[in-house]
Chains A and B, each alone.
Chain A
Amino acid sequence: MSLERRMLTRELKLNVARPGEIFKPMWFLILVVSMLPLALAPDSDLLSEIGSAMIWVATLLALLLNTEHLFQSDFSDGVLEQWLFLNRPLAWLVGLKLIAHWLFHVLPLILITPIAGIMLSVPTDVLWALLVTLVIATPALTCFSGLGAALTLGSSRSGILGVLVMMPLFVPIVILAAGVLIRAMDGSDTLPLLALLGAFSVVAATVVPIAVSAAIRLNIGGSN
């Protein structure tokens, strides 16, 4: 069995063994979305206007919190340092781990956003735009938050530092996604912005794993 398949099989089995890790972010997303009408007003016009942006931010937070400890358990078990002996570039293995994370953790999160959309009476065509932006933008978000996770690996009292450090870098992605949603709301062309978002994700997915692998190597070198 090739190393790539072994790696993905392992991730699949780990996620089957720890289903809570998949459900917690979804639970978080729905909870946050339920808080909004309670804090604001049950007025459906108002909710549908800010609903899609709210769901976007809530998904972003759920993804960040979920990715914060991406490498932590492998690191403390000493499995992560074994990756260096696996005859593949570390950045490639990191990329595989990020892909697996996106498939098993981020995709389920995206798939329940329509429920959140219904709760906030988001119009159907905006809901579609929301789904598409999330699918296109989350690879970049996953890569960056993976970097946050890797940078804070060696620090025992980092808390949510990785999230805090990476959040400012999400600004362009959030702005572009919001642009798509606004255009979807007034029915104008969203394609150019989606292409730009996609380009961002592609660049992030090729470059960021290299930075992540440098951060992991750094933390392996600093631990005893």
Chain B
Amino acid sequence: MASAAQTLGRYRTAAAVVVGLAVIPLVPGLNSSYVLHMLILMLMWSVIGMAWNLLGGYCGQVSFGHAAFFGLGAYTGGILYYHLGWSAWWGLPVGMVVVALGALGVGYICLRLRGPYFALGTLAMGEVLRVTAENLEWLTEGTRGIMLETRTWVAKEPFYYVILAIAVASFVVLEVMVRSKWGYYFVAIREDQDAAESLGIDTTLYKNIALVVSAVLTGVAGAFYTCYMGYIDPEIVFALHDVSIVAIMVVMVGGVATRWGPLVGAVIMILLSEVVRTLPYIGRAHQTLFGILLIVIIIFLPNGVVGDFRKMMRFFLGRSKPAGAGGV
């Protein structure tokens, strides 16, 4: 029986993190527009990471095409703005519907595939959408992209609080979902689809649920991106390497199927790409460095920074001591 006090205890960390993040813009020295820009990107990527984690981490359906949903969300806002003159913010609610429908289409085609074939199917879907967006010029302006003439706010703070609210909402939605019957069904499907099916779990239905929820959250992040950055083109928002792959990296680095993995992964990835970008000569090779990082993570920290935290600490705090030796 989980009493109210226990529930509170369980989410004390979460509450502390939210409060901490909420006060950052009020702290002198930390509230520069550069720091806020970094934090906004971190939060946006943590939303995408959480979304990917639901489908790839818990449900075991590894997607290489989350750019499809990010781009659909981004372009929904962009198109509503460009063609109808609506505020790009309408991209958030309208984008949720558009992306959900898109995800059902992707699911109908790809979810009948298993394992690596599903991954390849989603990879293809992402690329198909990118090429489509490049060529449907009457709708998307093609490679010229769509630019918002004015952004809603000049200051970063409002954007920061919007994405913070989106991240908190995503965290809560996923937490509720993963702890419910659905969470058990998702993990059962990941561990053995045939066994899950014969235990009475409608695997097609639950895989589609995981996909749609994951896609919608990613689409919300995409729609936010349009409003925040003020410019999108197919190369940016439907990018395989800069969106689909980074979504996977965020979760792999942070920790697959962990509660905090996506946030930790997003923080590390954004910091890392900032640091790498400023390095002379090798700055342009950041993709190569990310590739190497991914290999290192898979070999040494297969459960990510969060999942293998103890292992990592043992490594840094003196591995000469045999593990579990105790004493001083």
Q: Check if A and B associate.
A: no
